Amino acid sequence: MHPLERCCVRVRYHPWLRKVGWLWNVARPCYEWALGLMAANGLERTINGTDTLFIHRKFHSMGEVYEPLVWERLMAQAREGDVTVDVGAFIGLYTIALAKRVGPSGKVIAFEPNPQTFEELKRHVELNGIDHQVKLIPAAVSNHKGRVLFDVGKKSEARITEGVGVKTLWVEMVTLDEMFAHSKVDLLKIDVEGHEEKVLEGGKNLLQDPSRCPRAIYVEVHPYAWPALGTTSESLLGFLNRCSYRVSGMDEKPLKRIESWGEIFAYKEG
């Protein structure tokens, strides 16, 4: 973080000043103007003390601590030269950090269906100078190809939906087997607000091919959204087991049942 920005944040959250709302309403335009001057090439963030990247100034409220436990475990899986797939890339923090971890000989393919978020993802990739090793695909990922309604009104929780609404739109939908029919994937990250099993089903051939399958899969699971999609803890874990993956929770212990929102890791056996 830039020293000036760090200083301003400390002043903003000083115990004597943090509740003086009128003062910050007056000062905010000046602060954002100053950010514009000093952040033409982005605001520097060292995420969780390990990975330095740049973000656009509109995200200046984002700090340097971001999902630390997940970040540590996922980044530990990235190797030089890896082909990494980020399904549900959002604005690209994981995409950028993974691209830097896998290096010039590696590749990150990132999927993001929300048009507005996709533009932010693209901007962040450009800000970090990793265009040459990141492929961005403006599409949702599921178990069949086509077009699907997408609810863009939920920001970071935007998702595939069945109902037409004020903030829904049609987006392209692809499968992992279609996109990687003849290529290898080393590391797979999935964050799709409930459609986890659908994404995995659409990559069944990839996951079952010993010569091409990812050695590790990270999945953010959303059980509250599963009933409407026909997913259960048994069906998701069963699918991964049939594809010869052993599944663990964040405590790295074998996972027998998923009961709440959280994260799981699956590792290829054999």
For 192-251, write each residue's pLDDT tens digit.
999 999 999 999 999 999 999 999 999 999 999 999 999 999 999 999 999 999 999 999
Residue 58 is predicted with a pLDDT of: 87
What would you report as the CA-atom Rg of the chain, rounded to the nearest whole angstrom?
20
Residue 28: predicted pLDDT = 66
Phi, psi dihedrals of residue 12, rounded to the nearest 5°: -60, -35
% of residues, the chain, pLDDT over 70: 82
d(CA 93, CA 265): 19
Residue 163: pLDDT band with limits 50, 70, 90: low
Over residues 97-117, mean pLDDT: 97
- Residue 20 is predicted with a pLDDT of 65
Rounded mean pLDDT, 166-188: 94
Give me the sheet containing 146-151, strands edge to edge. 140-141, 168-174, 146-151, 159-160
- The confidence score (pLDDT) of residue 152 equals 82
Q: How confident is the model at residue 158 (pLDDT cuts 50, 70, 90)?
A: confident
CATH class of domain segment(s) 68-268? alpha beta
Entry pTM: 0.87
Q: What is residue 16's predicted lDDT score, i.e. its pLDDT? A: 61
Dump pLDDT digits (tens) for 8-56: 666 656 576 666 666 657 666 666 656 666 666 789 999 999 999 999 9
Would you kindly state where each structural domain of the chain is located, as residue ranges?
Answer: 3-59, 68-268
Among 31-45, 58-72, 87-101, the range of highest mean pLDDT: 87-101
Which pLDDT value is given to residue 61?
83
| Predicted local distance difference test score (pLDDT) of residue 198 | 97
Asked whether the beta carbons of 185 and 206 are under 8 A apart, the reply is yes
Lowest mean pLDDT among 40-49, 134-143, 161-170, 227-236: 161-170
pLDDT band for 167, please (50, 70, 90 cuts): confident
Annotate 5-73 with DSSP letters as a single string: HHHHHHHHT-TTTTT-HHHHHHHHHHHHHHHHHHTTT-EEEEETTTEEEEE-GGGTT--S--SHHHHHH
67: pLDDT strictly greater than 70: yes
Tokens at 105, concatenated: 């000989």
pLDDT band at 98 (very low <50, low <70, confident <90, very high): very high
- Per-residue pLDDT at 4 exceeds 70: no
Residues 119 and 116: their CA atoms lie apart, in Å, by 5
